[in-house]
Amino acid sequence: MLIIICHSLYAQNVAVLSLDGTGDYVEIAHSQAFDLSQLTLECWIFTPVTMDGILNDQWRVLISKSNEPGDPSSERDYNFYAGTNEDVKVTFLHLSSSIFGPTNLNLPTPFEPQTWHHVAVSVSQTGLHRYFADGVELGQVQGTSGTANRNYSLRIGKSDNLWNSRIDEVRVWNVARTQAEIQANMNQPLTGNETGLVAYYRFDQLESLGVGGDGLVDDVRDFSGKGNHGDLVGDAKLVPATDLSLPVELSAFSGTMTQEGVQLHWRTQSETHNLGFHIYRSQSKAGEYLRITPIRIKGHGTDATPHDYSFLDETAEVGKPYYYYIEDTDFSGQTHKSHIIQVGAPTSKGKIVTKWACFRK
């Protein structure tokens, strides 16, 4: 059952999809139902702690139908993004399409981190783009008309970058919906037989639906009745809708190359049932990450005050680039990953090259 709490437009289902931004997403095989000449894409999003630390740190993808990431042709039937120009708050919505054209509209009030919001974009037969935030139309931008009919998979949370938070009630339509139509059912579940609905993901539970041919209980049902079920990839998981607070609120994470190794530092603004931390390292961003902490670094349990932590990676070699992330564990054994940071080699003048990946104002 979907519930709305007060004016904040907080979407709460039985469960929601949780993605950590390091390779997690939902894959849905190509279907002719996704070959559209008009459309509406909509979903509820729980905004990340930060929008920073990505390949292209202007936006993060929510729903996409495009070729494989890294393909130089960069063909996109339609990709829907939440964007930022300040790395923390969501400040604009963006549609990127080789068919309908790229457009975006700014939010009148940026979305604060860790808040639920409903977002949507529609494209009409004439190529008119309309953007919506929390049921209110933000404006219209003229794009181009055409049919997005290339043989690409539909993905939730992945394209050229990855969504790094929770997402729920993903809906794909083959009609351009109006503000009144979006408002009419954005706060309640659909029956599944609504006119124009071609895919609908509620993320209530995982099932074994034969997606991917692995026989595992890692599939999400398409409640539109069209059979476009999805497969969870990476560490994508469903979490209870009532469990919407992160055990650790990370406000800073940085690294410095020294002659002794890489000195890592991070700060938590607050901690909830935090058992502690492990550090993982790789020599390439998309490579294998290995744990480098011999024992868990003890956390502060539940504490609403900031705490600073540090760890020296003595095995790092000067002159080589490294990639790190922090994994925290709560008292129930659940783990959560931070963003990845890159720590580079010293410059010729001996200055340190450090890339910040997580900073909350």
- Residues 76-128: tens digit of each pLDDT: 999 999 988 776 789 999 999 999 999 999 999 998 887 889 999 999 999 99
Identify the residue with better confidence: 273 or 164.
Answer: 164
Model pLDDT, residue 3? 31
Q: Summarize the confidence of residues 242-268 as an average pLDDT.
A: 83
Cα–Cα distance, 75 to 99 (Å, whole number): 9
List, in sequence order, every residue forming a beta bridge with 158; answer none if it has no partner: 162
Query: Virtual CA dihedral for 292, 295, 300, 302, nearest 10 degrees?
Result: 90
User: How much is the average pLDDT of 175-202?
Assistant: 94
Range among 172-176, 236-240, 304-308 with highest mean pLDDT value: 172-176
pLDDT category at 56 given cuts 50, 70, 90 is: very low
Residue 223 CB: number of other CB atoms within 10 A?
A: 21
| Mean of pLDDT over the chain | 84
Q: What is the largest CA-CA distance in the chain?
A: 65
Residue 74: band (very low, low, confident or very high) from pLDDT cuts 50, 70, 90: low
Per-residue model confidence (pLDDT) at position 213: 63
> Measured between alpha carbons, how far is 23 from 162 in angstroms, rounded to an integer?
7
Burial of 324 from C-beta contacts in 10 A (0-12 / 13-18 / 19+):
buried
pLDDT > 90: percent of the chain: 58
Distances (CA, A) of 304 to 48, 112, 268, 273, 300: 19, 19, 9, 11, 10
Give the dihedral sign, CA 148/149/152/153: positive
What top-level class would CATH report for the domain 3-240? mainly beta
Res 17: pLDDT:
94
Who has greater pLDDT, 196 or 210?
A: 196
Task: Answer for the pair 345, 332: CB distance below 8 angstroms, yes or no.
Answer: no
pLDDT in the model for residue 85: 76
CA–CA distance, 312 with 327 (Å, rounded to integer): 16
Measured CA to CA, the distance from residue 338 to residue 20 in angstroms comes to 8
Does 157 score more than 90 pLDDT?
A: yes
CATH architecture, domain 248-359: Sandwich (2.60)
CA dihedral 204, 210, 216, 217 (to 10 degrees): 20
Q: Cα 233–155–284 angle (5° rounding)? A: 55
- Cα 124 to its chain centre, rounded Å, is 26
CA 178, 179, 180, 184 dihedral sign is positive
Alpha carbons 267 and 276: distance in angstroms, whole number: 13
- CB hemisphere CA count around 193 (13 angstroms): 0
- Whether the CB-CB separation of 341 and 359 falls below 8 Å is answered with no
Enumerate the domain spans of the chain. Answer: 3-240, 248-359
User: How far is Cα 66 from Cα 57, in angstroms, rounded to an integer?
Assistant: 19
Least confident of 6-15, 53-62, 84-93, 231-240: 6-15
Q: Can you read off the two tokens belonging to residue 73?
A: 């042709």
Q: How confident is the model at residue 11 (pLDDT cuts 50, 70, 90)?
A: very low
Whether the pLDDT of residue 346 is over 90: the answer is: no
Beta strands 197-201 and 166-173: pairing type?
Answer: antiparallel
pLDDT at 298: 92
Residue 269: what pLDDT? Answer: 81
